[in-house]
Amino acid sequence: MKKPASYEGLQSSIRKLKTPRIDVWKNQYPDRDYTVELSIPEFTCICPKTGLPDFATIELSYGPHKVCLELKSFKYYLLFYRDVGIFHEHFVNKILDDVVAAVRPRWAKVKAVVNSRGGIQTTVSAEWRS
């Protein structure tokens, strides 16, 4: 059996990846605790190892504070990943980092359910609390 090539260095600069800006709008209920839940069933990116497309459903939940996430800009933000070679664990954490930086929520969670490939289905979750 052939030994797989190394993954070393494939994702070394992922935290510095320049992604599109996520716009926000002023929350008129910053004094109230409530939850926004988004489901994105058509997320795609590229496997950095094989160059093949990966498909996933992204679930984003957050507790708004002073601003809320603007959906059109978030859609364009997610489309950016279509041509990016990135591991599942990394795109979940990168999306969480970028949402938190833009929205400054009370809390946020990103979950990705990645379609099966080779008989393996992957689910990755990351959370942030202020």
Rounded Cα gap, residues 123 and 30, in angstroms: 32
Domain boundaries, the chain: 34-129
Q: Which residue has the higher pLDDT, 113 or 49?
A: 113
Token pair listed for 19: 């992604």
Active site residue 47: yes
Question: Which pTM does this prediction carry?
Answer: 0.92
Q: Active site residue: 23, 31, 45, 54, which one? A: 54
DSSP 53-102: EEEEEEEEEEE-SSEEE-HHHHHHHHHGGGG-B--HHHHHHHHHHHHHHH
| Average pLDDT in the chain | 93
Q: Active site residue: 23, 33, 47, 83, which one? A: 47
Contact of 45 with 112, CB cutoff 8 Å: no
The Cα-based distances of 2 to 5, 108 in angstroms read 9, 42
Q: Considering only the top CATH level, what class is 34-129?
A: alpha beta
pLDDT at 68 over 60: yes
Contact of 67 with 101, CB cutoff 8 Å: no
Longest alpha-carbon distance in the chain:
60
pLDDT at 18 over 60: yes
Rounded Cα gap, residues 108 and 53, in angstroms: 27
Active site residue 33: no
Average pLDDT over residues 82-91: 94
